[in-house]
Amino acid sequence: MTPLKRLYNLLELDKKDVSQLFFYAIIAGLVSLSLPLGIQAIINFIQSGRVSVSWIVLVILVVFGVALVGLLSLMQLRITENLQQKIFVRSSFEFAARLPKIKFEELYGNYPPELANRFFDTLTIQKGTSKLLLDFSAALLQIVFGIILLSLYHPFFIIFGLLLFFLLYFIFKFSYHPGLETSLKESKYKYKVASWLQEIARNNYSFRNELNFAYALEKNDELVATYLKYRENHFNVIKRQFTQLIFFKIIITAGLLSVGGYLVLSQQMNIGQFVAAEIIILLVINSVEKIIIGLETFYDVLTSVEKIGQITDMDLEEESKSDILNCFTEIILETDNLRFNFPDSKQTILKAISLKIEQGEKIFLDGENESGKTTLMRVLSGLMQPTSGSFFINDDTFQKIDLKQYRSQIGSIIKGETPFEGTIIENIAFNDKNVSQEDLKWAIDGVQLTSLIKTLPEGLNTKVFPEGRQLSSSNAQKILLARSIIHKPKILFYEDPTDAMDENVANEIIDFITSDKNNWTIIVSSKNPYWNTKCNRNITMQGGKVLLDTKK
């Protein structure tokens, strides 16, 4: 889909508001261009040396016209403000609804926070679209109405109108693609600079060292230099457009003044018509200038629409067909000759995996780094889909399973996962009204968070910083553990869930998680060997294959 098509689809959502804007612009344009006619009539009355009621009425009408144009502009501002608010609201919910649901294959090779940063292009769309709708519509209508009005004075002005349209067509035709291409490249490196600054902020302790600090500035310098190169290329397109406009204005102004003067001297126009014609010509030329200068805004809006469009084009996981979550009595997982490889790689990460996992089993995934255990766990948990082979859940193929239904029965901790900005209780229960106080207390006590919460003045309502920055790594893991069990799921998928804790505390929590009182299935990968002693099945992986599968 082209950027122009994306912009059209965006405006199509609010076509009623856009239509109102154009309607007010047409009225304002007609009123604005009737003002020179009123001025022409006033000048004629003044030349005759007579003061009459008609002269006073014309003055009042001209003043009323100015006031009416101002009122119409105010109404347009109100409509564009509504448009800006709608664009912001829709974009924020579009991002919020899409980012958690984008398919793994689409996200692979992208950094999700960088994709989220593109939300700031919404601000450009907000301001730019309003400017385009207000200025471009008014300018185009003034050009059209102005040329029609001028042609009534003398047929020569028809040539002037044709030259104007040729100018706009010429500038747009030969500048559109270079302007859009350089704007997209400029935007790409603008986000690279923002992404690098984000990395510096995220790892600010690492960059405090003088040598590392110098590297941070050096890389920033490289990115900024590339950005400036593409920014300069884009400016050259804008500069070329404006240079063409300047030459055109010089030629047109000189020609029109000469021809207008000649028409007056040859008595084909009177002095009032000449003044009115020159006012209209100035309005039309200023409208052309407004459009040419506004092309930079036009490129910015198209670039922003395209950047956001690249996210909205990403495929999402299939939506649930039902809002009713089934309560499975048990979940049995089975794979048959399952294989997986990443989208940009021919190397097979999982090779011919055939397993059957019964409800209530406690499985310890073992293996060296890059053996495939993390990938297997993420495929089984529904984060990634197998490349080939079969994955059955309760004798149904994975492709037919409703992910919403399946995930409602899963608790998980993925490596790298951290608490988000919000209160402790929000991080654990996500404001789920169905979570009882008994279940909340059970989960908090089970992962040994109670002592921490009692020391906090606001208890469960204590604010957590992004990534749980003010918490110790062990307490952050306890919050994630409480989150994973609060709904008493059927399956737990754990990647290094207790590795940041002291051994004694970790072992006590492992005893609670693996207790026979809990009938959930556990699939865990951890450096803590105590997990292995509490599990009744050990799966050892090597080179993407199951090397050993032993039950105790």
User: Is pLDDT of 30 > 80?
Assistant: no
Residues 535/364, Cβ–Cβ less than 8 Å: yes
CATH number, position 171: 1.20.1560.10
pLDDT for the residue 50: 59
The arithmetic mean of pLDDT across residues 221-240, rounded, is 92
The arithmetic mean of pLDDT across residues 484-512, rounded, is 93
**What would the pLDDT profile of 280-298 be if each residue is shown by its tens digit?**
777 777 777 788 888 888 8
CATH number, position 464: 3.40.50.300
pLDDT for the residue 326: 58
pLDDT for the residue 39: 63
Q: DSSP for 11-50?
A: HHTTHHHHHHHHHHHHHHHHHHHHHHHHHHHHHHHHHHT-
Asked if residue 166 is part of any domain, the answer here is yes
Q: Which two tokens stand for residue 187?
A: 């935007």
Asked if residue 82 is part of any domain, the answer here is yes
Residues 116 and 254 in one domain: yes
User: Is pLDDT of 191 > 70?
Assistant: yes
The arithmetic mean of pLDDT across residues 232-253, rounded, is 83
Q: Is 5 exposed, middle or buried (0-12, 13-18, 19+ CB in 10 A)?
A: exposed
Beta-sheet pairing, 521-525 with 491-495: parallel
- Report the Cα 411 to chain-centroid distance in Å: 29
Confidence of residue 272 (pLDDT cuts 50, 70, 90): low
Q: Is 479 exposed, middle or buried (0-12, 13-18, 19+ CB in 10 A)?
A: buried
Residues 216 and 360 in one domain: no
pLDDT for the residue 32: 66
Tally of CA atoms within 13 A in the half-sphere of 220 that contains its CB:
15
Residues 228 and 270 in one domain: yes
Residues 139 and 248 in one domain: yes
Q: What is the dihedral of CA 81, 82, 88, 89, to 10 degrees?
A: 150
Percent of the chain with pLDDT over 70: 91
Asked if residue 319 is part of any domain, the answer here is no
Degrees, nearest 5: CA angle 501-502-506 = 65
Residues 301 and 347 in one domain: no
Dihedrals phi, psi of 482, to nearest 5 degrees: -60, -40
What's the whole-number average pLDDT of the chain? 84
pLDDT for the residue 52: 61
Element (DSSP H or E) covering residue 422: strand 422-423
Residue type, position 159, single letter: I
Q: Which two tokens stand for residue 49?
A: 């040396």
Asked if residue 320 is part of any domain, the answer here is no
Higher-confidence residue of 54 and 340: namely 340
Confidence of residue 401 (pLDDT cuts 50, 70, 90): low
Structural domain boundaries enclosing 213: 3-312
Task: Give the least confident one: 173-182, 232-241, 322-331.
Answer: 322-331
User: Is pLDDT of 495 > 90?
Assistant: yes
User: Is pLDDT of 324 > 60?
Assistant: no
Residues 523 and 454 in one domain: yes
Asked if residue 470 is part of any domain, the answer here is yes
Residues 421 and 356 in one domain: yes
Confidence of residue 156 (pLDDT cuts 50, 70, 90): confident
Q: DSSP for 114-137?
A: HHHHGGGHHHHHHHHHHHIIIIIH
Confidence of residue 54 (pLDDT cuts 50, 70, 90): low
Confidence of residue 218 (pLDDT cuts 50, 70, 90): very high
Give dist(CA 425, CA 480) in Å, integer: 11
Higher-confidence residue of 89 and 52: namely 89
Residues 489/450, Cβ–Cβ less than 8 Å: no
User: Is pLDDT of 314 > 60?
Assistant: yes
Asked if residue 181 is part of any domain, the answer here is yes
pLDDT for the residue 541: 92
pLDDT for the residue 100: 87
Residues 122 and 207 in one domain: yes
Please state the domain count of the chain: 2
Q: Is 30 exposed, middle or buried (0-12, 13-18, 19+ CB in 10 A)?
A: middle
Query: Of 312, 344, 375, which marks where a domain is finished?
Result: 312
The arithmetic mean of pLDDT across residues 247-263, rounded, is 75
User: Is pLDDT of 58 > 70?
Assistant: no
b/e 495-525 (16+ beta carbons within 10 angstroms → b): bbbbeebeeeebbbbbebbbeeebebbbbbb
Residue type, position 347, single letter: Q
Asked if residue 437 is part of any domain, the answer here is yes
The arithmetic mean of pLDDT across residues 382-391, rounded, is 87
Residues 491/524, Cβ–Cβ less than 8 Å: no
Q: Which two tokens stand for residue 201?
A: 């902020």
pLDDT for the residue 8: 83
pLDDT for the residue 529: 92
Asked if residue 65 is part of any domain, the answer here is yes
Strands (E), 207-359: 333-340, 350-357
Residues 122 and 176 in one domain: yes
Residues 111 and 259 in one domain: yes
- pTM for the whole thing? 0.78
Residues 393/405, Cβ–Cβ less than 8 Å: no
Confidence of residue 56 (pLDDT cuts 50, 70, 90): low
Residues 486/439, Cβ–Cβ less than 8 Å: yes
Residues 221 and 286 in one domain: yes
**What would the pLDDT profile of 362-386 be if each residue is shown by its tens digit?**
999 999 988 999 999 999 998 888 8
Task: Give the least confident one: 92-101, 238-247, 406-415.
Answer: 238-247
pLDDT for the residue 106: 83
pLDDT for the residue 47: 62
Residues 434 and 307 in one domain: no
Q: What is the DSSP letter of 431?
A: T
Dihedrals phi, psi of 9, to nearest 5 degrees: -65, -35
User: Is pLDDT of 323 > 60?
Assistant: no
User: Is pLDDT of 125 > 60?
Assistant: yes
Task: Give the least confident one: 14-18, 25-29, 407-411.
Answer: 25-29
Beta-sheet pairing, 537-542 with 545-551: antiparallel
User: Is pLDDT of 530 > 90?
Assistant: yes
Higher-confidence residue of 136 and 340: namely 340
pLDDT for the residue 88: 92
Percent of the chain with pLDDT over 90: 32
b/e 146-185 (16+ beta carbons within 10 angstroms → b): bbebbeebbebbeebbeebeebbeebeeebbeebbbbbbb
Q: Is 266 exposed, middle or buried (0-12, 13-18, 19+ CB in 10 A)?
A: exposed
- Report the Cα 462 to chain-centroid distance in Å: 30
